Structures are given as C-alpha cells and as structure tokens.
Amino acid sequence: MENEMIKGTMEIELIESTPTKDDFIILHQTTGWNAKGLYTYDQLYSAICNSWYSVSIYHDRSLIGFGRIISDGIYQTLICDVMVHPEYQTQGIGTKIMNALLKKCDKEGIKWVQLFCAKGKQDFYKKLGFVTRDVEAPGMSLFL
Ligand SMILES: CC(C)(COP(=O)(O)OP(=O)(O)OC[C@H]1O[C@@H](n2cnc3c(N)ncnc32)[C@H](O)[C@@H]1OP(=O)(O)O)[C@@H](O)C(=O)NCCC(=O)NCCS
C-alpha cells in the first residue's frame, strides 16, 4: 500500500489488489467497454480476480483507477484493463498505474510486456516507452 500526492494536490492510495466487485463495476461502466453486454459483471469480476497482478487506486476511499496483468510469470505478459475514472483523467493516475504494473514486471524479471492499445490512446503508452509492433509481425486476433 502506498500513499502519494498526485500533482501536489490530491492524496491517493495505491493498493496491490483487486477492488470489491461493486467498486469495480462502477469504474468499469465509465469505460463503456461492456456496452454490448458481451460478458456479465460477475464474469468480468471473476476475470480480474484471476489476474497475475492488479493495482487499484483510491481517492477518499473511492476507486478511481485500476490496471492488471495476465502473465505466466516468465515470458508472456499482457497488461490490460487500465482505466481511470473520467473525472480523474490527465492527472497522472494512469501513469501511476502503469508504473506500478511495470515495476512488478521488472521485480519478477519479466523482459517483455505486451498490451492492446484502445483507439486514440497510443500517445499515453508511447510516453511510457511502448512501441507499436513491427508491421511484419503484427498482433492478430480472432473473435469466436
Ligand atoms: C488511457 C488512460 C488510462 C490514461 O490515464 P490518465 O490518468 O488520463 O493518464 P495520465 O494523466 O497519466 O497521462 C500521461 C500522459 O499521457 C497523455 N495522455 C493520456 N491520455 C491520452 C490520450 N487519450 N491521448 C493522448 N495522450 C494521452 C497525457 O496527456 C500525459 O501526457 P504528459 O505526461 O505529457 O502530460 C485514461 O484516459 C482512461 O482510463 N481512459 C479510458 C479507458 C481506456 O481507454 N484505457 C486504455 C485501454 S488500452
């Protein structure tokens, strides 16, 4: 657990664990990611509970940020579900989440970290050092 002032004004708390289901649902709904109702919130919450590592960020005990890693702990590592409540965006909280996730990877000796970038968020990840995959070795996916 870690307390820190973001941009000198707001005291926030970072906890290395998953939030409660209710808190997670409220934050997740701000992203609109489940607008089509592809998954139930029970499923989404089970998914995050199965993560290798998660961080939750609170302000005044309200969940305002979350991020997680799916990994085998050795060489395949995927950062996903990085989200900051809209009222708290562009105040350094997303960076704080990413730094915590990357610090964990570094501590565990992970050498390669991957993620899928949502539309329009490339600059956020580029500022953290991420680069787009080579066009000759693109990420690929299949919807079932
Ligand atoms: C993407 C997201 C996590 C960024 O979190 P944040 O707390 O707003 O980001 P930060 O304040 O730490 O921003 C760090 C830097 O990235 C930049 N940045 C943040 N979001 C950006 C965006 N959408 N486009 C371009 N730059 C962005 C900031 O301007 C800042 O730059 P600076 O250091 O030069 O000031 C947040 O906007 C979010 O939760 N969005 C909705 C969910 C989402 O799309 N998640 C990403 C899934 S891949």
Considering only CA atoms, which residue is closest to atom 17 of ligand 1?
A: 124
Confidence of residue 10 (pLDDT cuts 50, 70, 90): confident
- E-assigned strands of the chain? 2-6, 10-15, 53-59, 62-71, 77-84, 114-115
- Confirm if 82 and 94 have CB atoms less than 8 A apart: yes
> Does 79 contact ligand 1 (Cβ within 6 A)?
no
Atom of ligand 1 nearest to the CA of 115: 48
Considering only CA atoms, which residue is closest to atom 4 of ligand 1?
A: 94
pLDDT in tens, 49-81: 999 999 999 999 999 999 999 999 999 999 999
> Does 114 contact ligand 1 (Cβ within 6 A)?
no
Ligand 1 center from residue 121 Cα (angstroms)? 7
> Does 27 contact ligand 1 (Cβ within 6 A)?
no
Work out the percent of the chain whose per-residue pLDDT is above 70.
94
Say if residue 7's pLDDT is above 70: no
- pLDDT averaged over the chain? 95
- Confirm if 12 and 3 have CB atoms less than 8 A apart: yes
* Whole-number CA gyration radius for the chain: 15
> Does 127 contact ligand 1 (Cβ within 6 A)?
yes
Ligand 1 center from residue 125 Cα (angstroms)? 8
Ligand 1 center from residue 26 Cα (angstroms)? 19
